[in-house]
Amino acid sequence: MSSWLDRLDRRFGRYVPPNLTLALIGLQGLSWFLDQLRPGFLDYISLDAAKVAQGQVWRLLTFVALPPTSTPIFLALALWWTHMMGTFLEREWGGVRYLAYWFVGIVGTAALSLGLGVPATNEYLLLSLLLAVATLDPDRQVMLLVIPMRLKWLAYVEVALLAWRSATLPGASKVFPLVALSNYLLFFGPGLWQALRTRQRKATQVVEAHRAAQEPAVTRQRVCATCGVTDEDRAVEFRVCTCERCGKPTNFCLPHVREHLAAAAAPAEPT
């Protein structure tokens, strides 16, 4: 998939308008403003499966423009956050890949909403921006109010909350967060799986190496083929004979190897 997107970017990247994230947060801010002027406006652009079935198909796309919150100060912070995450991805990926990321997320969210017959927001789409940036630059530090925090830790917290929310959703709705993040899973899932397998393999190698270092070395005991004395008696010297008579390397204590060699060298008696 990566090579395919790279080819698309080389061919069509120059046609993608810049500052897509700025346009997105502009639409979200405008939606909030219009809802202040005309309460209920957001209901007209939200993703409602029942109303889509009645022919209001624009909802399949306009739900992306829903503001993250209705409180002005938190809205400003949320839009700033979206702008920071989105512009990082635009800069790292280019317009084509960034659009593809949003497209997959929108399609996954809309398909699941229609399939389950439940409303949906752009919450998981915005979360997928954080997860993407945290995967690409996990040690990037941001100020969470007045607390500095690395993105990877913030992503871990969000994933934990996501898992808890999924577990508490009723029935088939439990799969909603997973499918809504289909863009993140499609773009990063194979790489994360490979990294996990590599980490597990390295951990196994470390454990096996540590276990081998703790085990005493096993040495093979030498035994004289004539008298049966072993190398446990450190006063006994051993030799290995490889003559034709033995046929294979054979251990002898020093006195018996001499007898063995003398017998091997003696001329055969006539019959």
pLDDT digits (tens, 9 = 90+) for 20-29: 999 999 999 9
Rounded mean pLDDT of the chain? 83
Query: In sequence order, what are the residues at sequence separation of 6 or more whose Cβ sits closer than 8 angstroms to the Cβ of residue 254?
Result: 236, 237, 238, 239
What is the DSSP code (8-state) at residue 222?
A: P
Given a contact cutoff of 8 angstroms between Cβ atoms, the answer to whether 132 and 188 are in contact is: yes
pLDDT digits (tens, 9 = 90+) for 50-107: 999 999 999 999 999 999 998 999 999 999 999 999 999 999 888 888 999 999 899 9
Given a contact cutoff of 8 angstroms between Cβ atoms, the answer to whether 180 and 102 are in contact is: no
Q: What is the pTM of this model?
A: 0.68
Task: Identify the weakest region by mean pLDDT among 33-42, 69-78, 141-150.
Answer: 141-150
Given a contact cutoff of 8 angstroms between Cβ atoms, the answer to whether 181 and 128 are in contact is: yes
